[in-house]
Structures are given as C-alpha cells and as structure tokens.
Structure 1
Amino acid sequence: MRAGMLAGCGALVLAGCASMPDNGGLESVEASQRPDSQVRVFALPPKDNVGPSSIVEGFLEALTSDDPSYTMARKYLTPNAAKNWEPERQTVVLDEGPSTRPTGRPNSGNDGRSYELTGHQVATVDQQQAYQPRGGSYQGDLHLTQVNTSKGKQWRIDVLPEGVVLGESDFQRIYSSVSKYYYAVDSTSGGEAGQRRMVADPVFVRQWTDPLTETVKELLQGPTRWLNPVVRTAFPTHAGLRKGTDSLAPDDANKLTVPLNEAGSRAGQAKCKEMAAQLLFSLRDLSSSSVNEVELKRSDGRFMCAMTEDGADALAAPRSTGRVPDQYFLDAKGRLVRMPGKSRSDKSPEQVPGPLGEGEQVLRSVAVSRDQERAAGVSNDGRSLYVASLISGASLGDPVARSHAKAEKNGFTTPSWDGNGDLWAADRDPKHRRLLMFGQGQADKVQKVRVEGLGDDATIETVKASADGARIALRVAEKDTTSLWIGRVERRPDANGDTEVSVTELRRAAPQMEEVTAVSWAGDSRLVVVGREPGGLQQMQYVSSDGSTPTGQALPGLTRVSEIAASDNDELPLLAHSDDGIVRLPSGAAWQSVLKDGTAPIYPG
C-alpha cells in the first residue's frame, strides 16, 4: 500500500508540489507538511526545459528526500556547484519550509536568475551533527544560470546557501537524536578521577542511512566541541572503522563486531574494554539496535576484546547505587518523608531517619544525595542551608551556608547533588547573588562558582546538577522572562593547586518557552520542563539537553505545577507539586494523588 502512496505529482514521491511564479510575492515550499514520519520520500530529477522557478522548487524538495548522499539534489546544480557543495557542513532548520522569491538582482553579465530564501530559524545542526537552537530570521541566496546538456540549454543552480535548509517537520522526519557516550574527566587529577562516569553527547543522524553504523562513526570521531573540554574518549587519536567497512550489523546472537583501522588497533586491553563500553552505551538507546555484546577487531582481523552490556555497566560508574531510588518530599510540618520508588499509590509516606525527618528544622526545600545517605535542606525562611545524615540519632549541626537576603523568597534555591557527591545551590540575595558548590557537601569545601555569560541582573532560580557532574541546568530569571539554560561544569587547578569550578558556555534549552516554571533531569540527556510559551497556557514536556524537543513524548496536563521531579530510572513515575498537592504519573497511567498537603517532591540528586 505504501508504494501506492508514492504515485502522482510526477510519481508523488514528494508531498506539496507547490507551483512557483518567476516573479511576484513569496511562495512557501510545502514539503514540510508531511505528518507520517515512516513514509520514505524520494526525489525526482529535474524536468527538461522548465523555468528557473521549477528548478528551485525541485531542488528544495530534493533536500527533504531520504537520499543519504543527495544524489538527486545535485542534479539541480551546475557541475561545478555539485562538486563543491557540502550538504553535511550544516543543516538550517526553519519553523516551516523556506519561502522563495525572485529578487531580480543584477547578475554577472549573463542571463541568470536570482532567488531569495527566507524563513524563521529554529536551529542549526553543525558538521559534528550537534544541534544548536537559533532564533531570528533566515535569509539565503540562490543563483541560476543556463548550462549546455544533451537536451539543450537547461537552468541549473550555480550559487546556493551553505549546507541544507529544511522545515522543522521534515527535519524531525529525516533525523533522529542519538546519544554518544564519553567518560567524564577531572582535570585536577590528570583525567583519572572521573574516568568511569559516562556523559551523554546527543547528536542527530539521518534515519534512513544506517543509524547503527552512523552512530558508531560519530562516536569514533570524538565528542562535540561543546562537551569536549569535560570528557575524554578511550579511542586512540584517528581511530576509525577499517577501510572498506561501509555497514555494521549485529549477528543472530545480537553481537556486533567492529573492525577498526590501524590507529584504533593500537589500544591495549584496558583501553579496549573502555572503548567497547562506550559503544554499548551509545547503541543502547538506538531504537533500531538490539546489540547486547560488542567485539572489537584489529585492522588485520585479529581479536582485540569483547564486552557484554553487564560488563559495560560494571565498568562505567552506575547511574545510581543499584538500589531503586525512593520518592522524597516534605510533609505539612516541613519534615522530610519518603515512599519506595515502586510503591503502590495508596501507600502512606514515612518519615526519614535523622534530624531532617524528625522535624528538628522546618524545611521549605530539600535534596537527597544520590547514594541516599545524606540530605541537604533549606530552612523555612530560606536563609540557612543544612546538610545532615539520614541516620537515626544523627545531629543537625550548624548550617553549611547562610544567606543575608532580607526577603524570604530571595534566600537559597532548592539544592542539588551531582554524581560526584558535590552539592550545589544558588543564593538569590539581590545584593549578593552567587552560585555555590560544596565539595562532598562540606562547608569547608565551599566555593563561589563563576557562571560565564550570566547577566548582572540575572537571578538563578533553580539549580539542577546532572548525574555525570559535567553539566548543570539553571532556571534563570531576567527582565520579563524565566528561561532554562544548560552549562558545562569545568574543574581546573588554580595557582594554589586548589580546584576552581566554573560553569561555561551556557546554551538555551526549551527556547520556545518564555516562562519556565520547573525543571528536572529525566535521564542522561533529557529533562522534563514545565513552562509557558508566549500567549499560551502552562504545559509540560521533555526536552533534550542540546535544546531540541523529542517528538512523540507528550505528557498529560496538570493544573498549576510549581515543582517537578523525574528519576534517571525511566521506569519510575514523574512527581509533581500542583494544586492537588503531591501527585505522580506512572507510565501509561493518569496522574495519581500522593499527599494533599505535601511539597517539594524530589528523587535523589
């Protein structure tokens, strides 16, 4: 049946088939209005003896096809332009397909034609396949000339914009997001302290090329520029697939054999195991992959090493302690309570042991360490930050930090623990705004963290450290907007030999929202965000750490959500604080009430 759908409009292999005048106003190419992401789209070659507008239209349509090498698109170009065009250099993503207009600009002494491409830019994907949200207007130029062919003179494009220009719906149909994995590094110890903690590096690959092989190739090419300063790869420099290896596929036992070139073959056994673990982590979330074992071979075909998924999990630092994380929140008296992560919805919460659960200090927000052995809590007036053990009989002690904010709302944010055991919190005192990190949660290891690119009038309202310790999500209020940013966490030795921590290269996540209310990490490269678009109502959605929005992951609405929490374990329900108190969303179910008078829902982290 699907083959039958691809007939009409000159075999109707492309949707839209919009006509375009040679002069006049803007005409939008409608290739972006194609809802079925499973329909493969094939381009048609240029027709003979058609005008320049038809060539422009055909070329833009060919860019939306599933041709991995753009063979048909190149037929719309002059021989020299086809030779020099590099579609992989970048992909420009517009909210809709590009609009075109003949410009009538003077050309260089020949009977050429010029066209302008315009649209509202959403993002770019660079040569490393890394996604970067972009706003504002897009404008590109096309020029056509007539060339001699066996069918006589024909119009062809000789000047065109860099890379590829697509509408957002076509981009989502053609590309899929995958996460490459690298090892977090701690530069203060030569890169060894954090070597076993994996960091996700999301990139986009074309769905119809060979996603498994493309993901392996992207992994071998190394981390993206943004992530590179805080990660390392176990693969040797210039490592790649053995020459002639065009495609990879697992065998009947789901084992993937990866033959490496000479550079990749130089690794010893320990490095080889790390390389295999990177491959397994990177292929784990690929929908088309069923790989559960990887075998690496040298360039001469000899065996290097092999590793199973269990081996990779044992080698890399676990995302958690292995214990299913509990669900935590504060009861009506400001005490820390918890429920087992997979408990029934009718189970009552219980107080945690230790001073924060016993009510020694009334709290307004809290964070539990990822090993679930300690908790950090902010006093009800927002001015004191405590760290205490979750053990009966433990003492509360003095605050690890105090805020001098006059208004309670300007005290400490909800704290957050990263995967290294370090504690983060921001002080919103207007006279002394600061982001603080407490090494291993200790008061004597506190430092003020420089946030590169943060405006003087910006206030950090929420701090969420990632499990890998290499990234941090910041909800920032500035002027009339509250937006979400992802920063890279860099740790470098200073002149005294101490560690200087900074947050660098902030990049926007959920750029479509002008008012972000709440955020939580929901895995290695995904966050769940509550917010509102301009003129819209509050909504809840998943976003990727690179700023892209995964498709097909809609969440049911909830009334006035002020807090949200997700676990790294995607089998556990979302938690939220709304008008209905503490509620949770199990997979495949509706929101369920947990505690009417509860606040501050969290998972460890």
Structure 2
Amino acid sequence: MDAEPLDARAGRARVRRRRLRTVRAYAFGAAGLLLAGCASMPDRGDIRPVQASQGVDSQVRVFGVPPADKASPAEIVDGFLEAMTSDDPQLETARKYLTEAAAKSWKPGSAVTVLSSGLNRVPNRGEKDPEGPRWKVTGKKLATVDEHSAYQPQTGAREYEEFLQLVQNEDKQWRISTPPSGLVLSESDFQRIYMPVNKYYFAGGTLVADPVYVRQRTDPDSRMDPTTQTVQSLLAGPSRWLAPVVESSFPTGTELSPGTKSLSYDGQNTLRVPLNEKAENVAQPQCKKMATQLLYTVKDLTGSRLDQVELVRAGGKSTSLCSVSEVSAAAIAGRPKIPEFQYFVDSEKRLVRMKLDTSSEDQQARPEPVPGPLATPPGFKVRSAAVSHDERRAAVVSEDEHALYVVPLVGGGTMPQPMPVGKGGKAPVLTAPSWDASGDLWVADRDPQSPGLWRVPGGAGTPEKVQVAGLDGRRIASLKASADGVRIALLVDQPDGSKVLYVGRIERPDGKGDSSAVSVRELRPAAPQMVDVTAMSWAPRGRLLVVGRENGGVQQARYMLADGSMVAASLPGATGLSEVAVAATEDEAKPKPVVAYSEDGIVWLPPGAQWRTVAAGAGGRAPVYPG
C-alpha cells in the first residue's frame, strides 16, 4: 500500500506539537528555556508519514513529548518515532514509550539508520497477534552510521522495514516491546543532530583522515560534548573500511580517564587530554604521534585557536605524558607539500604552469611552458598530465592517448621512452594519470578489449596491472589517487552512458610478499546522491570536489566526504564545468583556488570571489595541481 499524505488538520497538529517541543539553543545566564505542551494525535487511519522536525536548523534543540494517559497504539508509535529525534538525556522521553524491559535493553547509540525521507507507519493487517497490535514502519534507506560512527551509504535494495510490537502493561497503557535496534532518523533530522568530523590515523608516515559523525551537542547516552565524543571515537580505532590500511599510535585499550565528559582549552590554547593507564608506558616518539593524531582530530572542531595538545596521566594526576605543538605536529604528520604551481595543457597542446596570484589587482595568471624535456622537442603534443607532489616529474599522455611518458621537470635532455602500459587491442586508450604521495603513478586503460587499472611503482618501475574488486569489467573513465596514498577515486562508465564515482581502498603488501600484490578493495559510492558525475578532484581534509547532477537537477559542484556523505559547501556557477582541480593543501589560511576547464577554457575560483578566466586567449584544458 502506498503512503498517503496526512489531512490538513492532522498536519497542523503535528506542526503545533513540534513548536511546543523545540527550544533554540541560546543561553540566558544560568537559566534555560523550557517549553512543554501537548497536542492531539491521530488514533486511526492507514499509512501515516512521520517526518520529524523537517527543516529544523542545527541551533534548535528538540525535546520529546511523553505519552499521554490512555494513548492509542497509533499515538504511541508516532510519539516514539518523534521522541527518537530529541536531545533528552539518555533519550528518556523515547524510553517512556517502551515497556520496562525494552527501555532497559534498548541501545540507541549502537547504530543510526538514515532515511531519505520520513518514516511511514501502518498497522499490520495480517494475522492478529495475541499480544497486541503490530505496526509496520517503512521508508527509503539512505545510509547507516555504525558503532564506530562511520557513515555507510546504502547500496542495493533501499527499502527499510521494521515491526513495532505493542503490548499493554499492568496499568493498561500501550507500550512498545520491540523497538528498533538503534536510532531511525530522517535525513533532515540526521543533519540537524549529527555533524561530520575527521579523526586521523597513520599510514606509514602520513596522517589519513577517517570521516565519522558525532552529535552536534551533548550525546544523550554518554553525556559527552562533541569534542570528547570525537576523541573517544579516535581512541576506539579507525572505521572498519579504513582499518586494513592505517594504524593508530595509541596502545590497545587506551581510553579517556574514567568520568571524562568534556575537554576544554586553557589560557595558553592548550588542550589537555587525560588518558587511562594503558598510555602510561609509551616511548616519547610514540607519545608525540599520539598527540599529533589528537591535535589534527580536534583542531577543526572549535573556533578557538589550538596551539598545543598535552596528554596527561589518568586519575587526576598532573604529570604530563607528552605534548606536541601545532608546528611540531606538522613535521610528524607528513602533510603534503603546498603546491607552488598549477598546471594545464594549453591551446598548443603543451604542458604549462602558472602561479595564481590572488593578491594582484588584475588577478591574471601568466602561463609558462614547464622546464625540462617537454619544453624542447618540437611537435610533441600532450593530451593530459599529472605532476608529482615534489613537482620534479610530470607524467604525460600523448595526444592520441596511446602512450604514457614520465618526464623530469628539471634539467634538459630528450624525451624518454614511453611506459609499457596496456595489453589489449592495437594500442591503449589512457586516462589522465595521477601520482600518490609515495611516488607511485596510476593510470587506467580504457581499451574495450583489455580495460584495467595500472600502477607504475615509484613512477619508474615496471607497470603492473592492479586488481580492482567489484569493478566487474566496467571501464574507468578517469581516476585520482589521494595524497595520503590509501584511497583512489574512480569515475566508472555505466551501461546507460552515465558515470558513477567510487572510492576504493589501496591495499599494499606488507613487505613480505610480491610487490605486485597491490590491489584496490571495497569500492563504495562516493556521490550516491548524483545520477551522473562528470568530474572530480581530491580536496583538503580527505574530501572530494564532485561535479555532477542529481536526478532531475542541474549540474552542480559540491564537496563530498570520502564516505559518500555530502558536505554543505558547494561552488557557485558550476554549469558547464567538465574538469576540476583542487589543491590538496592543508594551508587553510591561504587556500589555493579551484581551477577548472569549461566552455570558456581554463577558469579559476579565488576564495570568496567569482569564476575568472585564467588568461585572455590562453585556451587550454586538463587543469591539475600536483598529485
């Protein structure tokens, strides 16, 4: 049976009830605002959509309304679904809709199911249950957030279905005996209640962002503030998807000192983090890596300046384990080098570079040919290119897309021989290449007879074909390796002509086996909201800038987290963009502009400004930053 809308009277009642249970999160001295009230709820009918607090902004606190005396089964179900969206401590109001046993065993913090719209609930009209009425709750599943706080977009079947069994207690009040295993929220409620944060782990000597979601305010279960929730999640270890390729410097079993509910800064902009006894006997180098993970995890969570993180002993002891400043943490973290130049292929098919000076009045760039062998051979034409992170080498694909060259950008000399990439057909059909921070070069062959992903170890070794689990013979249209070297974004051709964006995990051998064992595992959708993606680039803090369109929508450019969840930030005027480049620099004080290819040629977007043409008459395509 399809869902039908609530009648106008019931809709107005629901709106009134929401107004009575919402409080803006503004403090007035020591006093708070308290609102209470009640409203009638429908006690019969068929399917009812329950779209809790749609459109409520993140400054609104929601408090549940307890069940009324002699409330009908329909009122109990509706009231419980609404109360799951509340900010009550321990979700006390939601538990009042449950039986005593269910209230004690319910663990809403174990997982979150995110639905693309509100819940529909309908009484089960099958065989009558001797215990009481059963209500079926349904919806379209968008994603889940697991016990590690990791967001997982839904793939495959998206139907959500749950049965809520109602029974009468000794007071003849209807209560739910079988609640969902965790929270069930609409997308709007999820965005109001939760916020994305990055926690950081090491892959070799490089910090890797692991995106998770925490409560925007105090967690109802743990009573921890957002910073403490995030630190707790960091100590618990990486998400399951990222765990095979990263490691934590914290010893197993490390937790916050018992009773820690909040973390704050002192007058010297230092965050002190008390840890239990598991962290007491680590060596200083390891301790400083622990503090570095914490500093990068926490520094984006507050508007306050964070200069230092200090780890202190458990039990209220004042003895410091170690500390790390922002400057020293940067050296430990292995952050990517800030790019000196931006590169593109000009109208004469040459690889050129430029500095984008946002301080100049005319803000016009002056492209120049790159130095080295690419500047010397007359007639050599470039289709696409990638520049290594140290900007000392370029990988270029010939104009016919059949040959890949790795060329030094220093000194002179002649063009080297092409790399032996591709096996099938008359010649490979190569995508634009991409470098990772370890110096490996990645490129895909789109030859229909033998498509595949290739890696050139160190940019100089023998090319190796890489196994991509889940690709199922589909061709890669374009790719981009992340600067941290553990993820790769793949734009994949679909049978209907559209392109879908995936992120895969790069698994490398442990040094004991064959180096050709490098593979890409667990592809997951990186832009599930978009039906067609045309361009993408890695951006700072483990994000992706994605150009595409949603179903029935126009082209747009949005920042996405690597887990496939959408970040609010979007770029203006994205119509017509077919290639984009974003500098993967952590220098947020001086962000690099977005550079793109459009019908107007190479354009760039300075921070806080509008799109501008790079240079009048310069033409060109294939813009890239190092990487």
Q: TM-score, normalised by structure 1?
A: 0.91
1:100 aligns with 2:121: yes
- Per-residue CA distance 1:304-355 (angstroms, 9 max, x = gap): 11111111101121221xx543111011111111111435432321111012
Q: Which residue of 2 aligns with 1:308?
A: 325
Conserved 8 A contact 1:335-1:358: no
1:43-101 CA-partner distances (Å, limit 9, x unpaired): 22222221111111111111111235212211111110011111112111111121111
In the other structure, the counterpart of 1:351 is 369
Equivalent position amino acid for 2:82 in 1: E
1:13 aligns with 2:21: yes
2:177 maps to amino acid: D
Specify which of 187, 207, 225 is matched with residue 198 of structure 1: 207
Report matched runs for 1:517-596 at 5 Å: 517-551=534-568, 553-569=569-585, 571-595=591-615, 596=618
For 2:172, what is the secondary structure of its paired residue? strand
- One-letter amino acid matched to 1:573: P
1:366 lines up with 2:381 in the alignment: no
* Alpha carbons 2:430, 2:444 under 8 Å: kept: yes
* 2:195 aligned counterpart, secondary structure: strand
| Correspondence for 2:470 among 453, 456, 470 | 453
- Tell me, what secondary structure is at the counterpart of 2:517? strand
Find the aligned partners of 2:516 and 2:422 in 1 and give their Cα distance.
24
Residues 138/350 of structure 1: CA separation in 2 closer, same or farther (3 Å cut): same
Match of 2:306 among 291, 294, 297: 291
Letter in structure 2 aligned against 1:513: M
- Give 1:166's aligned amino acid: L
**Secondary structure of 1:589's partner?**
coil
CA contact (8 A) 2:425 2:449 kept: no
Whether the aligned pair in 1 keeps the contact of 2:254 and 2:276 (CA below 8 Å) is: yes
Contact 1:367/1:415, CA 8 A, preserved across alignment: yes
Deviation at 1:288, TM superposition (A): 5.3
RMSD, matched Cα: 2.3
- Given the alignment of the two structures, is residue 474 of structure 1 paired with residue 493 of structure 2, yes or no? no
Q: Say if 2:75 is the partner of 1:54.
A: yes
Partner SS for 1:81: helix
Pick from 45, 53, 62 the counterpart of residue 66 of structure 2. 45
Distance 1:556 1:312, change over 3 A: same
Residue 131 (structure 2) pairs with residue 122 (structure 1): no
Deviation at 1:524, TM superposition (A): 2.8
2:167 aligns to what? 145
Q: CA deviation at 1:494?
A: 8.1
Aligned counterparts of 1:467 and 1:347: Cα–Cα separation in 2: 26
Could you say what secondary structure the match of 1:285 adopts?
A: coil
- Looking at structure 2, the residues matched to 17 and 138 of structure 1 have their Cα atoms a distance apart, in angstroms, of 30
Task: Kindly indicate whether residue 271 of structure 2 is the aligned counterpart of residue 256 of structure 1.
Answer: yes
SS in 2 for 1:279: helix
Secondary structure of 1:420's match? coil
Shift of the alpha carbon at 1:125?
0.5
- Cα pair 1:368 1:375 within 8 Å, conserved: yes
- Partners of 1:392 and 1:332 in 2: how far apart? 25
| Stretches of 4+ aligned residues off by more than 6 angstroms | 15-19, 404-408
Q: Give the letter aligned to residue 306 of structure 1.
A: S
Q: Mapping of 1:154-303 within 5 angstroms?
A: 154-184=173-203, 194=204, 196-209=205-218, 210-287=225-302, 290-300=305-315, 301=317, 302-303=319-320
Change (3 A) 1:47 1:24: closer
Aligned mates of 2:56, 2:598 — CA distance in 1: 34
Please report how far the alpha carbon of residue 130 of structure 1 lies from its aligned counterpart in structure 2 after TM superposition.
Answer: 0.4
Is the Cα contact below 8 Å between 2:425 and 2:450 reproduced in 1?
A: no
Asked if structure 2 preserves the Cα contact closer than 8 Å seen for 1:363 and 1:380, the reply is yes
CA drift at 1:226: 0.6
Distance 1:448 1:324, change over 3 A: closer
Number of corresponding residues? 580
CA distance in 2, matches of 1:411, 1:529: 24
Shift of residue 559 of structure 1?
A: 3.5
**Residue range with higher mean Cα deviation, 270-279 or 333-342:** 333-342
* Pair 308,146 (structure 1): closer, same or farther in 2 beyond 3 Å: same
Q: Partner residue of 2:34?
A: none
CA contact (8 A) 1:490 1:504 kept: yes
1:30 deviates by 2.8
Query: Aligned residue for 1:516?
Result: 533
8 Å contact from structure 1 (residues 388, 395) kept in 2? no
Q: Cα deviations across residues 437-485 of structure 1 (Å, max 9, x unaligned)?
A: 111101x3321110011112x0011110001101111001121131000
Assess, with a 3 A threshold, how the Cα gap between structure 1 residues 494 and 348 changes in structure 2: closer, same or farther: closer
Distance change (3 Å), C-alpha of 1:515 and 1:407 = farther
Aligned with 1:428 (options 446, 452, 456)? 446
CA contact 2:464–2:516 (8 Å) conserved in 1: no
The 8 Å contact of residues 384 and 403 in structure 1, kept in 2 or not, is answered as no
Aligned equivalents of 1:132 and 1:233: distance in 2?
22
Q: How does 1:61-72 map onto structure 2 within 5 Å?
A: 61-67=82-88, 69-72=90-93
**Could you tell me how far 1:36 is from its partner in structure 2?**
1.9
Describe the SS at the equivalent of 1:333: coil
Change over 3 Å in CA distance of 1:574–1:407 after alignment to 2: farther
Q: One-letter code of the match for 1:129?
A: S
User: How far 1:497 moved relative to its partner?
Assistant: 4.4
Moved more, 71-80 or 231-240: 71-80
- Partner AA of 1:559 in structure 2: T
2:480 paired residue number: 464
State the identity as a percent: 48
Asked if 1:437 is matched to 2:455, the reply is yes
Report the AA paired with residue 535 of structure 2: A
Alpha-carbon separation, structure 2, partners of 1:74 and 1:220: 29
Change (3 A) 1:8 1:483: closer
* One-letter identity of the residue aligned with 1:125: V
CA–CA distance in structure 2, aligned partners of residues 533 and 359 of structure 1: 45
CA contact 1:97–1:119 (8 Å) conserved in 2: yes
Maintained 8 Å contact 2:38/2:65:
no
Aligned equivalents of 2:418 and 2:39: distance in 1?
67
SS in 2 for 1:366: strand
Q: What pairs up with 1:324-403 in 2 under 5 angstroms? A: 324-342=339-357, 344=360, 345-358=363-376, 360=378, 361-403=380-422
TM-score, normalising length from structure 2? 0.88
> C-alpha displacement at 1:357, in angstroms?
3.9
Q: 1:256 to 1:390 in 2, by over 3 A?
A: same
Whole-Å separation in 1 of the counterparts to 2:459 and 2:53: 50
Q: What is the alpha-carbon distance in structure 2 between the residues aligned to residue 334 and residue 80 of structure 1?
A: 72
Equivalent pair of 1:23/1:101 in contact (CA under 8 Å):
no
d(CA) in 2 for partners of 1:382 and 1:405?
A: 14
